[in-house]
Amino acid sequence: MHGLLVLGCLWLLAAPPVSSIFQRPTGTPAPPHLQYLLEPLHPTVHTQRGATATLPCVLRALPHNYRVKWSKVEPANYRENIIIITNGLYHKNYGPLSPRVRLRHSHRYDASLTITDVTLEDEGRYRCQLVNGLEDESISLTLHLEGIVFPYQPSNGRYKFNYHEAKRACEQQDSRLATYQQLYKAWTEGLDWCNAGWILDGTVHYPIINSREPCGGRLLLPGVRTYGARDKQKDRFDAFCFTSSLQGSQVYFIRGHLNFKEAGQACRNHGAAIAKVGQLYSAWKFSQLDRCDGGWLADGSVRYPITIPRERCGGLPDPGVRSFGFPSKEMRTYGTYCFLRK
């Protein structure tokens, strides 16, 4: 529901003086356009997947007949989806976040939003809006998950996904399509990939560190190259997926000469599941998983994570998740990587 909720029993409290106890620290005056809302000291809230996060929104005064509306700005369509509306006494939740959100309400001026069991989809920009007739005002906050971007293509080769298939493929690998900001940050951290891929807003890009002939030529400067917005149904590219660490989880290797079916069973025998690509990347990035052994993953690919490059482990000079591609699932050559959530 995207309209404003009409709530009964409005909170009819006289506004206290602006010089209340909720003053900003000395030397940091509130912007003049904010009469009732306090500008947050830290507009970005850092959290982890599976954690509980609170986005601060505190009023300095309580106007008559007001409401506070929380919404999330979705980068895929630039729409604001309402999450919760309150008048101080009553509130109503909306949308898919509804079961996992509540108002902190630690005091009567507190309209902060608490999100439990944070997911990848929760990352992004949020807006806390005071709705008060002609005096509406709002603040914006960003919920940030530390994560990693990885390129992904299916077993049948490059440039096979339309937008919707790319989105689904990332979700199947415990990730989501990356935002442009996430892809750009990954490029600054060394992501170099010559194949173009979809990102969340429906545009197509590829990040280049080392300019070279097959990737736009040597004369083009390094950067995130763009194809712009493409037809989400007809055009086909790879995908850039984003994943993050998950509290209370572990990825580990089981040695053996297993085919794909046996690999899955070996993980289940330990009370785990065969790991997804995003889970292996997360373990490599955040748990420094380093193994020179190729192992099956849930999509039928065989990969191994290297944090300390060495000659006998692929010989490449940089850390990364190496791939053997998608061998025949009947091959009994590899071990398996398992995922366990404790």
Instruction: Convert the pLDDT of each residue in 271-308 to its tens digit.
Output: 999 999 999 999 999 999 999 999 999 999 999 999 99
pLDDT digits (tens, 9 = 90+) for 38-74: 999 999 999 989 999 999 999 998 888 899 999 998 8
Q: Where are the alpha helices (DSSP H) in 147-250?
A: 163-172, 180-188
Every domain of the chain with CATH number 3.10.100.10 lies at 147-243, 245-341
Token pair of 240, please? 């850039």
Class for domain 147-243, per CATH?
A: alpha beta
The pLDDT value given to residue 20: 33
Q: Where in the chain is the domain with CATH 2.60.40.10?
A: 37-145
Residue 17 has pLDDT above 90, yes or no: no
pLDDT tens string 101-122: 999 999 999 999 999 999 999 9
Q: Which residue has the higher pLDDT, 311 or 238?
A: 238
Q: Please check whether the domain covering 37-145 is classified as CATH 2.60.40.10.
A: yes
* Maximum pairwise Cα distance, the chain: 75
pLDDT digits (tens, 9 = 90+) for 316-329: 899 999 999 999 99
pLDDT in tens, 247-278: 889 999 999 999 999 999 999 999 999 999 99
Would you tell me which CATH number, out of the four given (3.30.70.380, 3.10.100.10, 3.30.930.10, 3.40.50.800), belongs to the domain 245-341?
A: 3.10.100.10
Residue/partner pairs of 27-35 with CB below 8 Å, 24 or more apart: 30/60, 33/137, 34/137, 34/139, 35/60, 35/61, 35/135, 35/137
Output the CA torsion 150→153→157→163 (10° steps).
-130
**Which residue stretches of 203-270 are H helix?**
260-269
Give the separation between CA 120 and CA 50, rounded to whole angstroms: 9
Spatial separation of the C-alpha atoms in residues 177 and 306, rounded to whole Å:
24
Whole-number CA gyration radius for the chain: 24
Tally Cβ neighbours within 10 Å of residue 120: 20
Per-residue pLDDT tens digits for 169-223: 999 999 999 999 999 999 999 999 999 999 999 999 999 999 998 888 888 899 9
Provide the pLDDT for residue 13: 29
β-strand 137-145 against 203-208: which pairing, if any? unpaired
283/302 Cα distance (integer angstroms): 16
Write down the pLDDT at residue 84: 97
Q: What is the pLDDT of residue 77?
A: 67
